[in-house]
Amino acid sequence: MNVELPFAPVDTIIRRNAGELRVSADASQELAARIQDHGSELAIDAAECATDDGRKTLMAADFGVETVVDKNELELPVAPVDRIARLEIEDQYRVSMDARVALADILEDYADNVAGAAAILAHHADRRTIIDDDIETYFSLFE
């Protein structure tokens, strides 16, 4: 699977949760892949909501979001999030700008939660670097 999300913003998200810890490139890649999988699953559910309402356009409400944040406040770029949303849904669907921003916000919160837990796991392992195993361990424990 090709990861649509650039690693740099994901690395920034991990680093803002890492404190004094370093972050391996593999950790950023692993989290980017996990973010993409989660976003794709959320888009499938959102497409089902849109279909139930007789629409071909995904809206922010389809992702359970009532108030959409300003996209400039987000670390994750909207264009790759749009591509992530379209990975597993049929081409007939459109994704509104509000839906893209809402999904980016959801995914950024998701990434913050995972990165924070990965930092705790790295501390627990008495390491100074967050590695991909910390991300994988989080998912084996909590999902």
Domain segments of the chain as ranges: 7-142
Q: How far apart are CA 94 and CA 98, in angstroms?
A: 12
Asked if residue 9 lies in contact with residue 78, where contact means CB atoms within 8 angstroms, the answer is no
Q: Which CATH number fits domain 7-142: 1.10.20.10, 2.170.120.12, 3.40.470.10, 2.40.128.50?
A: 1.10.20.10
- Res 85 pLDDT > 90: yes
- Res 143 pLDDT > 80: no
Burial (0-12, 13-18, 19+ Cβ within 10 Å), 128: exposed
- Res 1 pLDDT > 60: no
Q: How far apart are CA 96 and CA 59, in angstroms?
A: 6
Strand, helix or coil for residue 102: helix
Report the pLDDT value the prediction gives residue 115, as an integer from 0 to 100. Answer: 98
Q: What is the pTM of this model?
A: 0.95
- Res 70 pLDDT > 90: yes
Higher pLDDT, 80 or 2: 80
Asked if residue 32 lies in contact with residue 5, where contact means CB atoms within 8 angstroms, the answer is yes
Helix (H) / strand (E) containing 129: strand 129-130
Query: Residues 107-128: what's their mean pLDDT?
Result: 97
